[in-house]
């Protein structure tokens, strides 16, 4: 494929995603704030640049996978941002988990410059990204989504279309991450209850995850929580807290009480306060064990 794709953000998820885009035959121009993280891609043929705007080809496609709303706004709207150079016909695919309100505003700003903002956040941990097995939720202008379909096909096993309003896919991602966090809290409480009453927690999750809770979240996260194994880090606790805050923020704006999200906020905030910000967010289960008087 002859088109050069710009890619910004080479963290735990961005690195394998960009690698798969490169493997699919696209030329790739990459930027990361910590420049050394681009080296593996450069060795595979990618071109590294020193500013976000330098990944852009006028009317081209840029993919971003950054940590939060402020990082996305910085690489998009800042002095060295991509929006001023993207131009008519260009497409910005945002794979970050951001507030729906931010997605709506960025969509409007892109439209003013006659380019498209397509939100395409993903579900899946780094190992799923490396295998090209991500689940993708996507929303934005229809023509732009059709144009970027080969890119999304290169990194995921299926893309779910949520219409033309960019904020719709962002909302789906926020709700999905809330449900994952809620499932982890529920598993941690149930398995701690089993452990404290003399039942092997690994046996409990093995049975439940093969029967009434036979799903990847209970099978994969549940296994780690049961074994109290929170490495390698696929998704940091501080990012999980950020995503639960996005759910609460959106809920407040739309008058939706979310008492469980408030509990998750406190659980994750406590973990961060105890120095666990860079641990995997599954380590919220440590707080459950501590509350029960277990080591």
Residues 150 and 132 in one domain: yes
Say what the pLDDT of residue 2 is: 66
Residues 178 and 264 in one domain: yes
CATH number at residue 207: 1.10.1040.10
Residues 86 and 224 in one domain: no
Q: Is the alpha carbon torsion for 168, 169, 174, 175 positive or negative?
A: positive
Using alpha carbons, select from 130, 148, 129 the residue that is nearest to residue 139.
148
Q: What are phi and psi of 5, to 5 degrees?
A: -105, 135
Say what the pLDDT of residue 251 is: 98
Name residues of the chain where pLDDT drops below 50. none
SS3 per-residue string spanning the chain: CCCEEEEECCCCCHHHHHHHHHHCCCEEEEECCCHHHHHHHHHCCCEECCCHHHHCCCCCEEEECCCCHHHHHHHHHCCCCCHHHHCCCCEEEECCCCCHHHHHHHHHHHHHCCCEEEECCEECCHHHHHCCCEEEEEECCHHHHHHHHHHHHHHEEEEEECCCCHHHHHHHHHHHHHHHHHHHHHHHHHHHHHHHCCCCHHHHHHHHHHCCCCCHHHHHHHHHHHHCCCCCCCCEHHHHHHHHHHHHHHHHHCCCCCHHHHHHHHHHHHHHHHHHCCCEHHHHHHHHHHHCCCC
280: exposed, middle or buried (C-beta count within 10 Å: 0-12, 13-18, 19+)?
A: buried
Residues 21 and 97 in one domain: yes
Range of the domain at 93: 4-164
Say what the pLDDT of residue 87 is: 94
Residues 63 and 191 in one domain: no
- Angle of helix 259-271 relative to helix 284-291, nearest 10 degrees, comes to 90
Q: What tokens appear for 123 in the block?
A: 């579900």
Residues 12 and 151 in one domain: yes
Using alpha carbons, select from 214, 125, 223, 218 the residue that is nearest to residue 179.
218
Residues 135 and 220 in one domain: no
Number of domains comprising the chain: 2
CATH number at residue 90: 3.40.50.720
6 strand-pairing partners: 29, 62
Single out the residue in 113, 130, 164 at which a domain terminates: 164
Sheet containing 122-123, strands listed edge to edge, beginning at the edge strand earlier in sequence:
122-123, 134-138, 156-161
Residues 216 and 111 in one domain: no
Enzyme catalytic residues: 173
pTM, rounded to two decimals: 0.96
Single out the residue in 113, 134, 164 at which a domain terminates: 164
Say what the pLDDT of residue 224 is: 97
Say what the pLDDT of residue 91 is: 98
Residues 155 and 179 in one domain: no
Residues 142 and 12 in one domain: yes
Single out the residue in 142, 164, 186 at which a domain terminates: 164
pLDDT over 70 percentage in the chain: 99
Residues 192 and 62 in one domain: no
Residues 89 and 185 in one domain: no
């Amino acid at each position: 494929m002859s088109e050069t794709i710009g890619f910004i953000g080479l963290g735990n998820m961005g690195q394998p995603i960009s690698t798969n885009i490169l493997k699919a035959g696209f030329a790739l121009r990459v930027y990361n704030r910590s420049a050394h993280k681009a080296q593996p891609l450069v060795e595979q043929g990618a071109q590294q640049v020193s500013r976000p705007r330098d990944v852009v080809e006028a009317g081209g496609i840029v993919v971003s996978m950054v940590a939060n709303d402020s990082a996305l706004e910085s690489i998009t709207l800042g002095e060295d941002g991509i929006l001023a150079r993207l131009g008519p016909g260009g497409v910005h695919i945002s794979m970050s988990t951001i507030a729906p309100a931010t997605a709506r505003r960025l969509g409007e700003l892109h439209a003013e410059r006659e380019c498209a903002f397509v939100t395409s956040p993903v579900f899946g941990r780094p190992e799923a990204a490396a295998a090209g097995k991500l689940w993708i939720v996507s929303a934005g202008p229809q023509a732009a989504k059709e144009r970027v379909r080969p890119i999304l096909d290169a990194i995921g096993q299926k893309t779910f279309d949520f219409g033309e309003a960019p904020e719709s896919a962002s909302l789906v991602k926020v709700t999905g991450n809330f449900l994952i966090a809620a499932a982890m809290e529920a598993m941690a409480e149930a398995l701690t209850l089993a452990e404290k009453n003399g039942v092997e927690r690994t046996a409990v999750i093995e049975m439940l995850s093969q029967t009434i809770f036979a799903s990847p979240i209970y099978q994969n996260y549940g296994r780690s929580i049961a074994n109290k194994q929170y490495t390698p880090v696929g998704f940091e606790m501080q990012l999980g807290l950020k995503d639960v805050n996005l759910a609460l923020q959106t809920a407040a704006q739309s008058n939706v009480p979310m008492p469980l999200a408030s509990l998750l906020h406190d659980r994750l905030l406590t973990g961060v306060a105890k120095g666990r910000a860079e641990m995997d967010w599954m380590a919220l289960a440590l707080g459950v064990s501590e509350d029960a008087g277990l080591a």
